Structure 1
């Protein structure tokens, strides 16, 4: 359960140990499939912290307590990703995409993912005033993830094969879209 409103702050190197612990959590590891050694976490997330990778990585907090991680990025900053997604769905030219996890097991369930996604999208409209949509592919088998997107207001717009984050998964994905509302 969440205790308070969801807020975000940039990931720092001081958070990498916490992130490694989260990435080792069985439910997170199932879908993220990241190595969790200090060197691997640094290699994967250090460039975002340094600003040399165009993705932003943020910690999600409730009541001041970190409970999750989100990444957001302009899809256009990754041309190979645009090409892969375009084979499955029309990619809006100024679309963002997001990746997310809830690392603290005691926070999972009860709408925490949906609350985090709603807060993140609201923040995206402010942080990226030219963004016209958020487009999110999710492995079809990760039902909790794509249902949280639906509860947060996203609409499923496509299904198709994409490279899975975890090599044990089939390529089947669902793709969800949320367009910027008028006035946002």
Structure 2
């Protein structure tokens, strides 16, 4: 359950042990399949902390307590990803994408994911004035994830094969889109 509004702060190196614990949570590990050694966490998240990677990684907090992680990036900053997406869906110019997880099991359920996503997208519009939309691919089997997107206002726009985050999954993905609201 959420203990107040969702806020965000940038990931720091001091947060890497917490992130490692979250990535080992069975529900998170199922979909993220990420190495959790200190070296792997540094290799994958150190460049973001240093500002040398074009993605942003932020912790989601409620009541001052970190409970989740959200990564935000311009899809165009990763040309190989654009190439992979284009056969499945037209990538809108300037589109952002996000990856996310809720690491604290006691916060899952009750709409926490949808609240985190809605707050994060609202935070994204003023930070990325050129972005007219957010496009999010999700493994088709991750029903909780795509339902959270739907509750946050995203609309399914495509289905198709993409490289899965977890190699045990089939390539089946669903893609969700949210356009910038007028006046935002």
Hey, what does 1:132 align to over in structure 2? Answer: 132
Hey, what does 2:86 align to over in structure 1? Answer: 86
Instruction: Give TM-score, length-normalised by structure 1.
Output: 0.99
Once the two structures are TM-superposed, the CA of residue 70 in structure 1 deviates from its matched residue by 0.3
Separation in 1, partners of 2:179, 2:83? 20
Matches within 5 A, 1:25-104: 25-104=25-104
Once the two structures are TM-superposed, the CA of residue 144 in structure 1 deviates from its matched residue by 0.2
Separation in 1, partners of 2:93, 2:130? 10
Matches within 5 A, 1:15-30: 15-30=15-30
Q: Note the residue ranges of structure 1 that are not aligned, 5 or more in a row.
A: none
Once the two structures are TM-superposed, the CA of residue 9 in structure 1 deviates from its matched residue by 0.3
How many corresponding residue pairs?
184
3-state SS of 1:81 partner: helix
Separation in 2, partners of 1:86, 1:178? 17
Report Cα offsets for 1:110-150 as digits up to 9, x if no partner: 00000000000000101111101000000000000000000
Hey, what does 2:144 align to over in structure 1? Answer: 144
Hey, what does 2:119 align to over in structure 1? Answer: 119
- Cα RMSD over matched residues? 0.4
Q: Note the residue ranges of structure 2 that are not aligned, 5 or more in a row.
A: none
3-state SS of 1:141 partner: coil
Separation in 1, partners of 2:32, 2:45? 13
3-state SS of 1:15 partner: helix
3-state SS of 1:52 partner: coil
Displaced runs of 4 or more, over 3 A: none
